[in-house]
C-alpha cells in the first residue's frame, strides 16, 4: 500500500493544474486547491480517486454561496461566517486575511507521540497576511499504513509587539449537505459516553468542554458524521474525527444556507485569549480524521488500529488482569488487607494488584477524601512496613504491584498546601472554592516548579521502588477558581492552555525516564478518556459506575473511538455501589471480559463458588486475550436499539479466531429477540463454537459444532434467552460469550 501525496501534474499531465494537491492514505484521498496569493480551498475528502478523476473536482459553485476556504480568518473577508482564526493585532486591528505564500509536500518519517515510528506525507501550506507579518502554517500529515490523517496549525507573530489570538481552530472541513447525521457522546460522572445521534440541520451543533482538567466527563471531543442518512454499523460513508487534546475544547458544526456543513475543531477560546509575543509561535493540537465506506464500525476499526499502533502507550502489549482495591476497601488500607487481596487475586488467576486511594499522609493521614493530597508519603499507621512491605508481599504472592496517585491535586488540609499555598489554582483576592471532600484544590501546572513537583511524585515512587509495575493516575476536580498565582496579570487567560502544556511536559518527562511502567488514566472515572493524553497512558478507567448493565451502554459509546485494550472494565460487587442494581456474577464477568478485564471487589466477601466462576472467567479471558485486545471490533446489535439486546464481537486480523458477546438487557415473559448475525468472519472458513464462562448444566446445542463464516454472518446462532441452571440459581440475567476458532 502506498501513501501518496502528489501534485496533480504527476498524475495527469495533460490537464494539469499544479494547484490541486492530493493527499492519500491507503483508501482515501483528500484534495485541496492551493493557489498562491489566494485562500486555500477544499475540494474533496472521500474514497481514493482514480487517476484523472481529480480533474473533475470543481471549486464550490458561487450561486449556492458555499464556502470552500479551509482557513477563514476573521475580519477582512470573513466577517459573517464562523472562522478558524480571529486575532487582535498590536495596533488594535481585528481583521486578518490569510493567503497562500507557498506550499510543500514531502515524505515524513517521525516518531508518533506514543514512541512508535510512523511514515507518511506532510503537506505544509504557508499563509501570510498581506498587511501584517502574521504567518500561519497549515499542516496535513498522512499515515502510510492506516487511513488516518492529522491536521493542525501554527501561528507566528511577526509584529513588533504582542498580538492576541481570540479564536484558533484547526482548518475547517466542509461536508456536503446530503443527509448527514452526527453521532457524538455526552455524559456526566458515572454515566460517561452516552451516544447521541443528531441530524445536522441549519444552525450550529456545538460540543464543548470547560471542565479545565477532565475534558471527557461531560462531552467527548469525537464525532462521527454519517454522510448518507442515520449511521449504520457496517455500511455507509462515515467521517470520524477526534481532537487529540486533553484540555478545554470546542467542536462546532456550522450549517448555514449553503451546500455544506462546516466542521471546526480546536481549543475552546472561552476565557483563553492567547497573547503571542513578538516572534512567538503558537501550535494548535491536532485533529485526527478518517473516512470509511464501511459505516461507523469501519471508522472505529481505523481509530482502534491507529491508536494501538501510534496513539496509545504500549498498544501492542497484552494487558495484565488486575484487582483494584477501591470498591473492595475504599480508604481502609492496611498491610494485612492488601496482602489478603493480593493472595486472592493470585488464587483467581490474576496478575496484578493495585492499591487505590488511602495509603498516604503523615501529618494528615488520608482517612477519607478530605485531606492529604500532595503528601505522597506512606501512612505508617496503616502500612508500618511501607511500600517495601507491600512489594515484599506482592513478590511472595506472585503478583505485580501497582499504586494510586492523584499528583496534580492538593487539599487545604495537607502539608503540601501549608508549604506552598502559592502552587494552587486560585483567583487573586478570593478564597479558593474547594472541591472533593470540601478541601480539594488543583495545582497550577503552568508553574514549572509545580511541574517539577508532579514529576517528582512519580519519579520518587519509581526510583525508590522500581518494582512498581503500574500507576493509577487520578484527577478528581475541575478548575474552579480561574486564576494563576504564577502567570502574570496580563496572561491570566493563558491558564487553561498553560496547564495542559505543563501536564504534557510532565508526561513526556515521565515517559522519557520510565518508558515501561503501565499508567492508567483516570479522572473521576472516564473524565480523561481522550487521545491527547493516551500517548503517555496505557488505558483509562471507563467509569466509576461498574454496574454491568450501564457499563454495556458506556462501553458501547466508548468503543466508537477507543479499543478494548484501553478500556479498563472490572467485575465488582452487588448491589452495585453506583446504581444499587444486583446483576448476576456471570453477567458481570461477561461484560467486564469485553474490555481490559479486571476486578474491583473485596474477594474476602465472595463465596467459593463465586471465586470459582471468576477463576474460570479469568482463565477463559487469558485464552482469548489477544483476540479482544488486538482484534477488530464489530458492533452487532446496539443496546440503544431499544429491544433489550446488545451484541458485539472481536475478530483477529487473519480471521482465524473470534469472540462473540451477547447480553440480554432486560427480562420479560414471552420476549422475542432478533437472531444476531455475526460480522467480520471469513465466509469460507469453518468455525467451531465453544462457550466461555459456561454456567449452564447442559452445553449449548451448538457447543463444539462447526459453522461456516458465511452461515454465522448470514443466519447467526439461536442463542437461548436464559440459562439452564438449578432452580435456586435462576435469575433474570442472561449473557453468552462464545469463542469461534
User: What is the binding site for ligand DGJ (CB under 6 A)?
Assistant: 326, 356-357, 404, 474, 476, 522, 524-525, 541, 544
Nearer of residues 326 and 376 to ligand DGJ, judged by Cβ: 326
Would you give the DSSP letter of residue 733?
A: -
Nearer of residues 87 and 411 to ligand DGJ, judged by Cβ: 411
Q: Cα–Cα distance between 690 and 265 in angstroms, integer?
A: 45
Least spacing, CB of residue 544 vs ligand DGJ, in Å? 5
Least spacing, CB of residue 218 vs ligand DGJ, in Å? 15
Q: Which residue is nearest to ligand DGJ (CB)?
A: 357
Bridge partners for 108 per DSSP: 120
Nearer of residues 96 and 476 to ligand DGJ, judged by Cβ: 476
Least spacing, CB of residue 160 vs ligand DGJ, in Å? 49
Q: Cα–Cα distance between 623 and 626 in angstroms, integer?
A: 8
Contact 284, 168 (CB under 8 A): yes
Nearer of residues 357 and 648 to ligand DGJ, judged by Cβ: 357
Nearer of residues 211 and 357 to ligand DGJ, judged by Cβ: 357
Least spacing, CB of residue 184 vs ligand DGJ, in Å? 23
Question: What's the 3-state SS for 172-230?
Answer: CEEEECCECEEEEEECCCCCCCEEEEEECCCEEEEEECCCCCCCCCCECCEEEEECECC
Q: Cα–Cα distance between 350 and 598 in angstroms, integer?
A: 8
Contact 646, 663 (CB under 8 A): yes
Q: Cα–Cα distance between 658 and 24 in angstroms, integer?
A: 31
Least spacing, CB of residue 549 vs ligand DGJ, in Å? 19
| Run of H or E including 388 | helix 386-397
Nearer of residues 200 and 403 to ligand DGJ, judged by Cβ: 403
Least spacing, CB of residue 657 vs ligand DGJ, in Å? 32
Bridge partners for 547 per DSSP: none
- With b for 16 or more beta-carbon neighbours within 10 A and e for fewer, the 530-540 pattern comes to bbbbbbbbbbb
Least spacing, CB of residue 458 vs ligand DGJ, in Å? 16
Residues 6+ away with beta carbon under 8 Å from 724: 696, 697, 698
Least spacing, CB of residue 178 vs ligand DGJ, in Å? 41
Q: Which residue intervals of 495-607 are DSSP H helices?
A: 495-513, 548-558, 585-592
Nearer of residues 544 and 620 to ligand DGJ, judged by Cβ: 544
Residue 452 in grid coordinates: 517539577
Least spacing, CB of residue 149 vs ligand DGJ, in Å? 34
Nearer of residues 141 and 524 to ligand DGJ, judged by Cβ: 524
- With b for 16 or more beta-carbon neighbours within 10 A and e for fewer, the 605-627 pattern comes to ebeeebeebbebbbebbeebbeb
Nearer of residues 470 and 541 to ligand DGJ, judged by Cβ: 541
Q: 125, 122, 136: which is closest to 23 by C-alpha?
A: 122
> Measured at the alpha carbon of residue 615, what is the angle toward residues 614 and 618, in degrees to the nearest 5?
85
3-state class (DSSP) for residue 397: helix
Least spacing, CB of residue 556 vs ligand DGJ, in Å? 20
**Beta-carbon neighbour count of residue 669 at 10 Å?**
4
Nearer of residues 129 and 357 to ligand DGJ, judged by Cβ: 357
Amino acid at each position: 500500500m502506498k501513501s501518496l501525496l502528489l501534485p496533480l501534474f504527476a498524475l495527469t499531465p495533460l490537464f494539469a493544474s499544479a494547484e490541486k494537491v492530493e493527499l492519500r492514505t491507503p483508501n482515501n484521498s483528500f484534495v485541496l486547491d492551493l493557489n498562491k496569493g489566494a485562500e486555500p480551498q477544499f475540494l474533496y475528502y472521500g474514497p481514493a480517486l482514480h487517476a484523472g478523476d481529480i480533474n473533475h473536482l470543481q471549486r464550490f459553485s458561487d450561486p449556492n454561496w458555499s464556502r470552500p476556504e479551509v482557513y477563514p480568518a476573521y475580519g477582512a473577508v470573513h466577517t459573517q461566517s464562523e472562522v478558524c482564526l480571529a486575532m487582535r493585532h498590536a495596533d488594535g486591528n481585528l481583521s486578518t486575511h490569510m493567503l497562500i505564500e507557498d506550499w510543500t509536500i514531502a515524505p515524513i518519517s517521525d516518531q508518533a507521540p506514543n514512541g512508535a515510528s510512523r511514515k507518511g506525507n506532510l503537506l505544509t501550506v504557508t499563509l501570510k497576511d498581506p498587511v501584517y507579518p502574521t504567518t500561519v502554517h497549515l499542516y496535513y500529515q498522512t499515515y502510510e499504513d492506516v487511513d488516518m490523517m492529522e491536521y493542525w496549525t501554527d501561528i507566528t507573530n511577526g509584529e513588533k509587539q504582542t498580538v492576541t489570538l481570540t479564536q484558533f481552530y484547526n482548518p475547517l472541513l466542509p461536508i456536503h449537505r446530503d443527509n448527514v447525521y452526527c453521532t457524538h457522546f455526552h455524559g456526566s460522572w458515572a454515566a460517561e459516553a452516552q451516544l447521541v445521534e443528531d441530524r445536522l440541520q441549519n444552525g450550529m451543533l456545538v460540543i464543548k468542554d470547560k471542565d479545565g482538567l477532565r475534558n471527557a466527563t461531560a462531552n467527548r471531543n469525537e464525532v462521527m458524521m454519517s454522510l448518507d442518512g442515520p449511521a449504520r454499523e457496517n455500511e455507509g460513508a462515515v467521517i470520524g474525527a477526534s481532537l487529540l487534546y486533553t484540555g478545554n475544547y470546542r467542536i462546532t458544526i456550522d450549517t448555514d444556507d449553503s451546500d455544506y456543513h462546516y466542521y471546526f475543531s480546536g481549543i475552546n477560546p472561552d476565557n483563553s485569549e492567547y497573547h503571542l509575543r513578538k516572534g512567538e509561535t503558537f501550535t494548535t493540537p491536532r485533529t485526527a480524521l478518517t473516512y470509511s465506506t464501511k459505516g461507523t464500525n469501519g471508522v472505529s476499526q481505523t481509530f482502534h488500529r491507529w491508536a494501538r499502533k501510534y496513539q496509545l502507550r504500549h498498544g501492542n502489549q497484552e494487558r495484565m488482569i488486575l484487582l483494584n482495591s477501591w470498591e473492595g476497601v475504599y480508604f481502609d488500607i492496611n498491610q494485612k488487607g492488601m496482602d489478603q487481596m493480593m493472595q486472592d487475586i493470585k488464587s483467581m488467576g490474576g496478575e496484578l494488584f493495585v492499591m487505590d486511594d488511602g495509603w498516604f499522609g503523615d501529618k494528615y493521614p488520608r482517612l477519607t477524601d478530605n485531606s492529604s493530597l500532595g503528601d505522597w508519603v506512606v501512612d505508617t499507621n496503616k502500612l508500618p512496613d511501607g511500600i517495601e512491605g507491600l512489594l515484599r508481599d506482592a513478590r511472595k504472592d506472585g503478583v505485580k504491584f501497582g499504586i494510586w496517585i492523584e499528583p496534580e491535586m492538593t487539599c487545604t488540609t495537607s502539608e503540601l498546601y501549608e508549604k506552598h499555598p502559592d502552587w494552587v489554582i486560585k483567583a487573586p483576592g478570593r478564597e479558593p472554592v474547594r472541591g472533593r471532600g470540601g478541601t480539594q484544590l488543583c495545582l497550577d501546572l503552568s508553574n514549572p516548579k509545580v511541574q517539577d513537583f508532579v514529576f517528582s511524585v512519580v519519579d520518587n515512587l519509581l526510583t525508590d521502588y522500581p518494582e512498581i509495575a503500574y500507576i493509577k493516575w487520578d484527577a478528581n476536580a475541575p478548575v474552579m477558581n480561574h486564576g494563576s498565582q504564577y502567570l502574570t496579570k496580563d496572561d491570566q487567560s493563558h491558564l487553561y492552555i498553560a496547564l495542559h502544556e505543563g501536564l504534557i511536559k510532565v508526561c513526556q518527562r515521565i515517559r522519557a525516564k520510565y518508558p515501561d511502567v503501565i499508567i492508567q488514566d483516570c479522572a473521576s472515572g472516564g473524565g480523561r478518556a481522550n487521545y491527547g493524553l493516551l500517548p503517555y497512558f496505557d488505558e483509562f478507567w471507563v467509569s466509576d459506575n461498574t454496574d454491568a448493565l450501564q457499563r454495556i451502554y458506556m462501553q458501547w459509546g466508548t468503543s466508537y473511538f477507543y479499543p478494548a485494550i484501553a478500556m479498563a472494565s472490572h467485575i465488582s460487587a452487588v448491589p452495585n455501589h453506583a446504581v444499587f442494581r444486583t446483576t448476576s456474577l456471570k453477567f458481570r464477568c461477561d461484560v467486564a471480559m469485553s474490555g481490559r478485564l479486571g476486578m474491583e471487589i473485596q474477594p474476602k466477601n465472595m463465596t467459593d463458588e463465586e471465586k470459582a466462576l471468576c477463576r474460570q472467567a479469568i482463565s477463559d479471558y487469558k485464552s482469548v486475550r489477544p483476540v479482544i485486545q488486538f482484534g477488530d471490533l464489530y458492533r452487532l446489535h446496539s443496546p440503544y436499539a431499544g429491544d433489550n439486546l446488545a451484541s458485539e464481537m472481536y475478530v483477529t486480523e487473519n480471521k482465524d479466531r473470534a469472540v462473540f458477546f451477547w447480553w440480554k438487557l432486560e427480562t420479560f415473559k414471552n420476549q422475542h429477540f432478533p437472531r444476531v448475525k455475526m460480522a467480520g468472519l471469513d465466509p469460507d472458513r469453518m468455525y467451531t463454537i465453544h462457550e466461555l464462562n459456561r454456567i449452564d448444566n447442559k452445553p449449548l446445542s451448538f457447543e463444539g459444532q462447526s459453522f461456516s463464516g458465511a452461515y454465522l454472518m448470514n443466519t447467526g446462532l439461536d442463542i437461548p434467552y436464559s440459562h439452564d441452571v438449578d432452580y435456586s440459581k435462576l435469575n433474570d440475567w442472561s449473557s453468552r460469550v462464545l469463542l469461534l476458532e
